[in-house]
Amino acid sequence: MILQRHAEAEIDGDDDLSRPLSPIGFSQAAVQGETFRELELYPELIMHSPAMRSRQTAEIMAVKLELSQAYTVEDQELYTFNAFELINQIHALPDEVDSILIVGHNPAVENAAYALATNQLVPFKTAEAALFKFDVEAWQSISPKNCVEHKFFNQPL
C-alpha cells in the first residue's frame, strides 16, 4: 500500500474541491510517478478523493505508471483530513486487491502513515508518499504490529 499526499495545488479556487494542481504540482506528480515506475511499484488500483488536485495527481501517476484510467477510482470518503477515517477506509478495502495507491490530503495521509509505521516518519509535503508492506491476508488486519516494511518517498522537486 502506498499513501500519497496530492501534489501542490493552486492556492485560489472557487472552493476547496475545485482547486487544480499548480504547474509545480503537475511536475511533482510526474516525477513521483516515474520514481515508482523505476522501482517497479505498480499498484493494482489507484484511489483518490473527489478533489480536483487529488484526481489530477492520481491520473498523472496512472499515466507515468503506464496504467489505464480504469485503474483510478474516485472515492468520496477519501476527501477527509482525519487519519482515523482514512484508516477505516483502508480497513474496508476489498481483500482481492493486493496493492493500492491512495492519493489523499493532509493531515489525514501524514497521520495515518504515522499510525501505521513502525518508527517515526517525517512530515509529508506535497506529493510525498509512504510505501507500506504488511504481513496480513485482510486489509482489516493491518496495523503497526504486522508492518514488515515501510519506505518514505521525499518530495520529488
Give 49-68 pLDDT, tens digit per residue: 999 999 999 999 999 999 98
DSSP state of 16: G
Asked if residues 25 and 126 have their Cβ atoms less than 8 Å apart, the reply is yes
Is the confidence at residue 12, as pLDDT, over 90? no
pTM: 0.95
Q: Which three cell numbers stand for residue 39?
A: 522501482
* Burial of 135 per CB tally in 10 Å (0-12, 13-18, 19+): exposed
Encode pLDDT of 98-147 as tens digits.
999 999 999 999 999 999 987 777 889 999 999 999 999 999 999 999 99
Give the C-alpha separation, 157 to 148, whole Å.
Answer: 28
Kindly list the domain boundaries of the chain, sorted by start residue: 2-153
- Three-state secondary structure call for residue 125: coil
**CATH code of the region 2-153:** 3.40.50.1240
Nearest to 14 by CA among 48, 47, 60, 51: 51
